[in-house]
Amino acid sequence: MTEGRANVYKLHLLVLALVAVTEFIGTKKINIGIGVIALFPMLYALVLGGVISWPKFKFLKEKEMNAAANILGVSFLLFIAKLGANIGPELPKLLGSGVSLLVQEVGHIVGTIALGLPVALWLGLKRESIGATYSLDREPNLAIIVDKFGANSAEARGALGVYICGTLFGAIYMSILASLLGSSGLFHPISLAMGAAVGSGSMMAAATGSLAVIFPEATEDIAFYSGAANLMMSIVGTYVCIFVSLPLTQRLYKWLEPVIGRKNASTTEGGRRSA
Amino acid sequence: MNQVLTILLIGLIALIGNWIGYGVGPAESLPGILLLAVVTLIGMGFTKILPFKSPVIVWISLFAMIATSPIFPGNAFIAAAIAKINLLALATPILAYAGLSLGKDIHLFKELSWRIVVVSLVVFTGTFLFATLFAEIVFKIQGKF
């Protein structure tokens, strides 16, 4: 919080300009054959913001980018307040979907491991795979891993890798995924809305945004159920991560690594050695 | 004080977005934006005065739910005012700030192997897909849809 005042205002002004321009452009839907991709203001804002902050242009200083990341966290809180205000008037509806809320949370928790760990081991990752796949690896999860294994551990390297990818293209990816799953016709918008509450502000905003564009008639429901699922995640998330997800991933790693893992250890530092 | 100003500025930006993108005039949006700001600030303050660490999101959600639920005086007005603020108008500033912060991680990304990039995408897919699938199965069993 040592950023000078002037550069914080520069960020707010840039965001104001981005919001004004992108909201003016509005929503577009593009059919790409395998499904519909929703393009909407927040995605343009993300991409244009990324271009503005591209290091080569030297338009923003590193500390301004860090300040933007902090303000991003604060702006998510207003979004959360809106989601909560959407739930209040229909509280009984929340109790009516208690079971699915609980069960979908299990899906959020095991989903990263069930899909991620086998792939990570198959690609030849070693202990990095534990940190990389035990959770979505946002800030709190990163802190848990560093606390347990140390900042220079293989586990922390894996977690940091997924964290960086999440920051850079998690939101874009989630919005494409939400668009494709939404237009596939396999799932009800309410189930997708719960799925969208992945525990990361930007990813959740992008995923719920896509769903709202794909299912304009269900916008209220989407806000309601993603809000409820997100609340569930924020209540149980950290504890489950420490006491369930991490031990579970470590145990599975012990079982699966000898079966799927590759003989030649390769590490996440491979950027310098290979590809 | 700093946080209060930040929240109000973000609220102002969302108000303008709600006007340009969703045709809701500033005067019509103002009460809703202010109420959202108040709930958010109360939640942040409450998290700070609690003797133990807890996620601020939980308290903000809870206070927003209480303020709009039938037990709270003036709930109908509060809910109606906040309903005027389009969800997407609040989400666009989030991703605009996210965009402006991207540059700081690009040099870190260059150090990563392609493997971890693939694993990341699989991890993102896994959490979204499994939660959606599980919710769908429960709703189907319950016969809700």
SS (H, E, C) chain A: CCCCHHHHHHHHHHHHHHHHHHHHHCCEEEECCCCEEEECHHHHHHHHHHHHCCHHHCCCCHHHHHHHHHHHHHHHHHHHHHHHHHHHHHHHHHHHCHHHHHHHHHHHHHHHHHHHHHHHHHCCECCHHHHHHCCCCCHHHHHHHHHHHCCCCHHHHHHHHHHHHHHHHHHHHHHHHHHHHHHCCCCCHHHHHHHHCCCCHHHHHHHHHHHHHHCHHHHHHHHHHHHHHHHHHHHHHHHHHHHHHHHHHHHHHHHHHHHHCCCCCECHHHHHCCC
Q: What's the pLDDT band for A142 if we cut at 50, 70, 90?
A: very high
Q: Residue A68's closest CA among A17, A21, A141, A10?
A: A10
How does the average pLDDT of chain A come out, rounded? 90
- CA-nearest of A28, A51, A42 to A79 is A42
- What average pLDDT does this structure show over A95-117? 93
Dmax of chain A from CA atoms? 57
Q: Phi, psi (5° rounding) for residue A37?
A: -105, 125
Structure confidence by residue, pLDDT tens digits, B69-85: 999 999 999 999 999 99
Under 8 Å between Cβ of B122 and A75: no
Q: In A, which residues are within 8 Å of B39 by CB distance?
A: 81, 84-85
Residues 6 or more apart whose Cβ sits within 8 Å of residue B123: A112, A115, A116, A132, A133, A136, A137, A162
Query: How many Cβ atoms sit within 10 Å of the Cβ of residue B2?
Result: 11
Question: Please, what is the angle between helix A201-214 and helix A189-196, to 10°?
Answer: 160
Nearest to A174 among B14, B128, B130 (CB): B128
Q: What is the ipTM of this complex?
A: 0.94
Please, which pLDDT band fits residue A265 given cuts at 50, 70 and 90?
A: low
**Lowest mean pLDDT segment, chosen from A130-139, A266-275, B8-17, B81-90:** A266-275
List CB contacts (< 8 A) between B83 and chain A: 85-86
| Nearest CB to A271; choose among B21, B110, B119 | B110
How near does any CA of chain B get to the CA of A39, in Å? 12
pTM for the predicted model, two decimal places: 0.90
The reply to whether A175 touches chain B by the CB within 8 Å rule is no
pLDDT band at A192 (very low <50, low <70, confident <90, very high): very high
Between these two residues, B18 and A2, which has the higher pLDDT value?
A: B18
Give me the residues paired with residue A165 across strands.
Answer: none
In angstroms, the separation between the Cα of residue A11 and the nearest Cα of chain B is: 8
In order of A167, A176, B15, the CA distances from A213 in angstroms are: 23, 12, 20
**How many angstroms separate the CA atoms of B120 and B6, rounded?**
32
Put simply, the chain A residues between 87 and 126 with a CB less than 8 A from any chain B CB are 87-89, 91, 97, 99-101, 103-116, 119-120, 123-125
> Residues of B with CB below 8 A from A54's CB?
102-103, 106
pLDDT by residue (tens digit) across A41-93?
Answer: 999 999 999 999 999 999 999 999 999 999 999 999 999 999 999 999 998 88
Which residue do the tokens 């109606």 mark? B80
- Spatial neighbors of A240 by CB under 8 A, at least 6 apart, are A109
Q: What are phi and psi of A40, to 5 degrees?
A: -150, 165
Mean pLDDT (whole number) for A148-161: 94
pLDDT band of residue B29 (cuts 50, 70, 90) is very high
Task: Say which residues have a Cβ less than 8 Å from residue A165's Cβ, sequence separation at least 6.
Answer: B109, B112, B116, B117, B120, B121
| pLDDT tens per residue across span B93-134 | 999 999 999 999 888 898 899 999 999 999 999 999 999 999
CA-based nearest residue in chain A for residue B68: A88
Cβ proximity of B129 and A196 under 8 Å:
no
Highest mean pLDDT out of A212-216, A230-234, B30-34: B30-34
SS3 annotation, chain B: CHHHHHHHHHHHHHHHHHHHHHCCCHHHHHHHHHHHHHHHHHHHHHHHHCCCCCCHHHHHHHHHHHHHCCCCCCHHHHHHHHHCCCHHHHHHHHHHHHHHHCHHHHHHHHCCCHHHHHHHHHHHHHHHHHHHHHHHHHHHHHCCC
From chain B, pick out residues whose CB is under 8 angstroms from the CB of A72.
94, 97-98, 101
Distance from CA of B38 to the nearest CA of A (A): 9
Note the pLDDT of residue B1: 65
Q: Does residue A221 surpass a pLDDT of 80?
A: yes
**What is the per-residue pLDDT for A272?**
41
CB-based contact B57 A230, cutoff 8 Å: yes
Dist CA B128 CA B130 (whole Å): 6
Both ends of chain A: CA-CA distance in Å? 38
Q: How far apart are CA B68 and CA A87, in angstroms?
A: 8
Contacts A–B by Cβ distance under 8 A: 432
The pLDDT of residue A2 is 47
**Which residues in B lie closer than 8 A to residue A19 (C-beta atoms)?**
13-14, 16-17, 20, 92-93, 96
- State the pLDDT confidence band at A6, using cuts at 50, 70 and 90: very low
Q: Is A131 on the interface with B (CB under 8 A)?
A: no
Contact B131 A198 (CB under 8 A): yes
**CB-based contact A65 B101, cutoff 8 Å:** yes
Statement: residue A174 has pLDDT above 50: yes
Q: Does A158 touch chain B (CB under 8 A)?
A: yes
Q: Taking phi first (over 0 means left), then psi (-120 to 50 degrees means alpha), and beta for anything else, what does residue A73 get?
A: alpha
Per the CB < 8 A criterion, the answer to whether B128 and A230 are in contact is no
